[in-house]
Amino acid sequence: MRGGEVLDIGCGKGAFTARLKKQMQSAHILAIDIAPTAIKKAREKYGDLGIDFKVCDILNEYQSIAKKFDLIVMSQLMWYVLPKFEKIVNYLKEQNLKRDGYLLVSQTFYKPNEQKYGRVRVKC
């Protein structure tokens, strides 16, 4: 897939999203994150790539995404969406994913006491 519509959920400061864009140059990418500061930094660093960065809380605003995508990426946010994971994924598949589209869920699991999210240290 070289083009199409892509949704990157939990894009953070945009590094992975920028890598996606470089591989899929003709794609339109909507990248969302709950953190306004992260979105601001993503826009500053990768704004020239043509990525649409927006603040959005996927846990509470998933129904506000009114578009169909060829690829939906959920990377490194399982810790946040887990309470509503099944509901969110089912909604995205039914409402936002094109019939022959792809949903990519990626999560790294760290050793106990290694993982940090923002300013919060998570003890596993």
CATH number of the domain located at residue range(s) 5-121 in this protein:
3.40.50.150
How many helices (H) does the chain have, and how many strands (E)? 5, 7
Task: Kindly list the domain boundaries of the chain, sorted by start residue.
Answer: 5-121
- Report the distance separating Cα 7 and Cα 24, nearest Å: 13
Long-range contacts of 44-50 (CB under 8 A, 24+ apart): 45/13, 45/14, 45/18, 46/14, 46/17, 46/18, 46/21, 49/18, 49/21, 49/22, 50/21
- Report the distance separating Cα 87 and Cα 106, nearest Å: 17
Q: What is the pLDDT of residues 54-107, one digit of tens each?
A: 999 988 888 888 899 999 999 888 878 888 889 999 999 999 999 999 999 888
> Could you tell me the pTM of the whole model?
0.83
Position 20, amino acid: L
Residue, of 36 and 116, whose pLDDT is higher: 36
Q: What is the pLDDT of residues 9-66, one digit of tens each?
A: 999 999 999 999 999 999 999 999 999 999 999 999 999 999 999 999 988 888 888 8
